[in-house]
């Protein structure tokens, strides 16, 4: 099982990090080592002083696919949830400045929080998701604001990488990303329903 993540998929988020709006999807990967589920806490790692949350709509792949046409993309997804793409922003900034890959900042253990999976329903609807930090809303996303919508993401990724049952796709974060501290609580809501409660230790 692998985790594919889309970067810079919301205009306001690209702007807040002073990144250009991309002409084609930007993606990177995390391994199964990154997955954090079932209400387990996140332990702040010693290699970073600036771990930041990025709340993202997550798609789970339900069947094998390669070179998937956009019009068939929805049929390859069997569940959705909300997740967090934890990012060591200090290490990522160093990588970006040196033109190096991002894995050290993105693919570390437990850097991919996954909430409770939900049935897809009609994936063309405008799916709302929210992240609360210590009870205050910090991110409020809508899937219709994605620069590259779900069918375009599936079509693009599957040109390069075979999608397999159980793979997860993190679809990028809207504006409002920020740092976490030990003692914080993050709560994720998908269409008004709580799908995770995460303690930072």
Contact footprint for Zn ion (CB under 5 A):
54, 85, 173
- Residue 2 vs residues 32, 103, 116, 168: alpha-carbon distances, Å: 6, 14, 18, 7
Query: Which residues, other chains included, contact 178 with Cβ-Cβ below 8 Å and sequence gap of 6+?
Result: 52, 53, 133, 138
What residues does 79 pair with on adjacent strands? 60
Q: Residue 112, SS3?
A: strand
Shortest Å, Cβ 36 to Zn ion: 15
Q: How far is CA 48 from CA 68, 89, 107, in A?
A: 38, 8, 13
Q: In whole angstroms, how close is the CB of 54 to Zn ion at the nearest point?
A: 4
Task: Please report how close the Cβ of residue 64 comes to Zn ion at its closest, in angstroms.
Answer: 25
Report in angstroms how near the CB of residue 84 gets to Zn ion at its nearest: 9
């Amino acid at each position: 099982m692998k985790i594919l993540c889309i970067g810079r998929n919301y205009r306001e988020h690209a702007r807040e990090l002073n990144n250009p709006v991309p002409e084609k999807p930007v993606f990177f990967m995390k391994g199964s080592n990154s997955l954090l589920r079932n209400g387990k806490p996140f332990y702040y790692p010693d290699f970073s002083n600036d771990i930041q949350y990025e709340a993202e709509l997550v798609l789970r792949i339900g069947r094998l696919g390669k070179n998937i046409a956009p019009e068939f993309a929805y049929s390859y997804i069997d569940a959705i949830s909300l997740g967090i793409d934890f990012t060591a922003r200090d290490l990522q900034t160093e990588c970006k400045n040196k033109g190096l890959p991002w894995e050290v900042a993105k693919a570390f253990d437990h850097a991919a929080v996954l909430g409770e999976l939900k049935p897809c329903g009609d994936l063309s609807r405008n799916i709302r998701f929210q992240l609360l930090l210590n009870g205050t809303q910090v991110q409020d996303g809508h899937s219709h604001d994605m620069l590259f919508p779900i069918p375009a993401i599936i079509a693009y990724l599957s040109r390069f990488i075979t999608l397999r049952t159980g793979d997860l796709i993190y679809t990028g974060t809207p504006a409002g990303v920020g740092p976490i501290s030990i003692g914080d609580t993050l709560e994720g809501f998908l269409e008004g329903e709580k799908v995770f409660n995460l303690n930072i230790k």
